[in-house]
Amino acid sequence: DQQVKQNSPSLSVQEGRISILNCDYTNSMFDYFLWYKKYPAEGPTFLISISSIKDKNEDGRFTVFLNKSAKHLSLHIVPSQPGDSAVYFCAASALYSGGTSYGKLTFGQGTILTVHP
């Protein structure tokens, strides 16, 4: 039962254009969402997050949008740069879910972003 899904295994974008990475979730108890970036042979690094009380959070070139009714979030990168080429993971956590999910992160499958010069 995949509670967090990233349905696009890969995305290719031209430098300077917008990259849009998508993520869907099924657990309505999730209330905190994060994006991680991962380069080869390195551990994932935190990129940006959003709480369920917001629908948008911005940090420089990165913006995350949350649509709670659709159980969908997206990460926008504008403008995209070749250094953004990496695997992007969406993750979610629940404040409370039978007491067992507090602070626990559930990840999606990841999307490989390639930004061409």
Partner 1 sequence: NAGVTQTPKFRVLKTGQSMTLLCAQDMNHEYMYWYRQDPGMGLRLIHYSVGEGTTAKGEVPDGYNVSRLKKQNFLLGLESAAPSQTSVYFCASSRGGPNTEAFFGQGTRLTVV
Binding site for partner 1 (CB under 8 A): 4, 6, 9, 31-32, 34, 36, 41-46, 49, 51, 89, 91, 95, 100, 102-110
- CB-CB contact of 30 with 5 (8 Å): no
Q: What is the DSSP letter of 29?
A: T
**Toward partner 1, which CB reaches closer, 15 or 29?**
29
**Toward partner 1, which CB reaches closer, 42 or 117?**
42
* Residue 82 C-beta: closest distance to partner 1, Å: 23
Strand partners, 44: none
Return the structure tokens found at 86.
Answer: 């990496």
* Residue 38 C-beta: closest distance to partner 1, Å: 8
- CB-CB contact of 62 with 76 (8 Å): yes
* Residue 17 C-beta: closest distance to partner 1, Å: 26
**Toward partner 1, which CB reaches closer, 17 or 104?**
104
Angle made by CA atoms 46, 29, 103, in degrees to the nearest 5: 40
* Residue 117 C-beta: closest distance to partner 1, Å: 27
**Toward partner 1, which CB reaches closer, 15 or 65?**
65
Locus of tokens 């979610």: 92
Return the structure tokens found at 26.
Answer: 């099924």
